[in-house]
Structure 1
Amino acid sequence: MYFNDFQIVLQEVPGEVSLCLTISGCPHRCEGCHSPFLWKEGSGQQLTHEIFRGMLYKYYGFATCVVFMGGEWHQAELIENLRCAKDKGYKTCLYTGLEKVDKEILKHLTWIKTGQWITARGGLDSKSTNQKFIEVKTNKILNHLFIKK
């Protein structure tokens, strides 16, 4: 599994300071994708156990969540990283263009954002979006947290 970018983000999971890793090799190729450079498998840096654990250790006590932007196509590695994050006390989230992911991945997630990008429908901050931000434990859709009042 390779990641192209690592950032500390505040908007992807409302109420959480999140470590966000953008995973390369995306097979979905959504029309209008803002990051087509992520389609290339192996671009960026390999996410080794040492690098990932180093991130978790460095930001422990500051960040509360780990967000993977993609990576479900590397199921075993993703699950291993999600387990590691949870073991260190982090909440977990996956942003995917799929409508659903394997139950084995869901077991290790606090939240999941599903649905491909459709330009005309917008993202989670749009009332007409096809995307869903779901609390996995309750299966509750939390899109309202992204809508500006």
Structure 2
Amino acid sequence: MPFYPESLHYSAEQIVWQEVPGEVALAYTITGCPVGCKGCHSVDSWPVGSGIELTEQHLEKQLQKYRGLITCVLFLGGEWQPDALLKLLKQVRSGGLETCLYTGYENVSLTLREQLTYLKTGPWIAARGGLESPTTNQRFYDLRTQQLLNCKFQTGE
């Protein structure tokens, strides 16, 4: 198993509208993904420790910068460093924003789930397609209601 630094690192930081239905999200592509899905569009994020360190101070600065404009913070990965991710999820929640995690795993710990509003699970399998495909293996949940929201991706809601 690779050695991970104590903090999360990211390769991309952007505002996104389509990844979390009904939310405007500040999204971080976390580096060091151990899943390694064939056909991944973020292969550049695989090297452990690459990218920019995502500190609590940087996150707070960005939350203030986008205050009133974003409703959610999305982490594309990071569950393989649960302590570091948990600290950032709690910070986001204390700021009154929703949280979302995209994971290639089938599930994450209860400790992480308790800090998440939304959770997308499942590895990318090209032949099955992404969330917009009716044959996908991936699942997108609203954890407040346990509702499966894949239909929102498939109908463009």
5+ unaligned residues in a row in structure 2: which ranges? 1-7
Q: Which of 62, 76, 80 is 1:73 aligned to? A: 80
Quote the residue 1:97 is aligned against.
104
For residue 50 of structure 1, give the secondary structure of its aligned residue in structure 2.
helix
Q: What is the alpha-carbon distance in structure 2 between the residues aligned to residue 88 and residue 109 of structure 1?
A: 14
Cα distance, 1:32 vs structure 2: 1.1
Query: Which residue identity does 1:119 align to in structure 2?
Result: A
2:61: which partner in 1?
54
Q: CA deviation at 1:148?
A: 2.9
Give the whole-Å Cα distance in 2 for the aligned partners of 1:10 and 1:93: 13
How does the TM-score come out when normalised to structure 1? Answer: 0.97
Residue 129 (structure 2) aligns with: 122
Relative to the length of structure 2, the TM-score reads 0.93
Offset from partner CA, 1:68-96 (integer Å, 9 cap, x none): 00000111111110111011011000000
Q: Does the alignment pair 1:37 with 2:52?
A: no
CA distance in 2, matches of 1:107, 1:56: 21
Matched residue type, 2:89: L
Post-superposition Cα deviations, 1:81-132, rounded to whole Å, max 9, x if no partner, equal 0111011011000000000001100000000000000000100000110000
Task: Say how many residue pairs are matched.
Answer: 149
Structure 1 runs of 4+ aligned residues shifted over 6 Å read none
Percent identity of the aligned residues? Answer: 48
- Structure 1, unmatched stretches of 5+, are none
The CA distance in 2 between the partners of 1:9 and 1:137, in whole Å, is 21
Inter-partner Cα distance in structure 1 for 2:16 and 2:40: 20
More deviation, 68-77/137-146: 137-146
Other-structure match for 2:139: 132
